[in-house]
Amino acid sequence: MFAINSQLILLVCICTIWISISTANFTAETTNLAFSYDNVHVAVNVMPERFVYLASNTGSRSYVMKYDVTAELGVGRLELPAGNTYAGAADPTNTYAYFTADSGNGALVTRVCLSTFTVCGSVTLPPQFTQPRTASVIGDYLLLGMHTSPASVARVKATATEFAFQDSLILPSGTFVISATADPDSSFYYVGTSDSPAKIYRIDLTGFTINDTMTLQSGEDEATTLQLVASMF
């Protein structure tokens, strides 16, 4: 068991329900996209900018659509170098977005320059890191949670001048990382697993080491979502 900052609550979703984005008046709204997307698996939000980037798998290919939230319209489409994209993230400055592609020989990570909406780099992970399912940009690093056994987190150096695999952290128990979040000051990174019951790991980002571990109660399986929110108490 580990303690969370008194001003924050770590929410864990144990379910298979996807909650869609709602409008400000708390009503659901559906819009038709300009391009055909049958299997959208990743949504990279770059707010307060006006765009969301949606990654879709169509056959053996993956595409990213640039969606204008204000106009409610798709305004561009980019084909990624490889298919099977299931994780993505943007850096805090909205300079780059990153999208992964599953591969049995090591997942491919593609970097997209958002100002030009073009591919501007790629990294192939070592062979044991095949299926990223979470992606987070924290400081100079892209952290990728692996849907593999044993569970692991790969770290990629992602700066303007360097884009390369750095190192990894193998979790001592548990399988398949399926959720992740960081605290506001980026001191700790939390990852959730698909175990029964689920496990939550707290990773110290200063040394990239496991700080603590929590196993949930019986019946609390698959930590599908982790979210830190301000405490109401």
Asked if 143 contacts 88 with a C-beta cutoff of 8 angstroms, the reply is: no
Please give the residue that has the higher pLDDT: either 149 or 123.
123
Q: What's the predicted TM-score (pTM) here?
A: 0.83
Residues 6+ apart with CB under 8 A from 22: 28, 29
Task: Please give the pLDDT value at position 39.
Answer: 66
Asked if 103 contacts 122 with a C-beta cutoff of 8 angstroms, the reply is: no
Please give the residue that has the higher pLDDT: either 52 or 20.
52
The two tokens of residue 51 are 């765009």
66-75, 192-201, 221-230: segment of lowest average pLDDT:
221-230
- Chain-centroid distance of CA 101 in Å reads 13
In which order are the strands placed within the sheet that holds 108-113? 88-90, 96-101, 108-113, 118-124
Per residue in 1-18, pLDDT (tens digit) is 455 444 444 444 433 323
The two tokens of residue 197 are 């019951």
Nearest Cα neighbor of 225 from 17, 1, 6 is 17
Query: Which amino acid is located at 195 in the chain?
Result: D
Query: Which amino acid is located at 1 in the chain?
Result: M
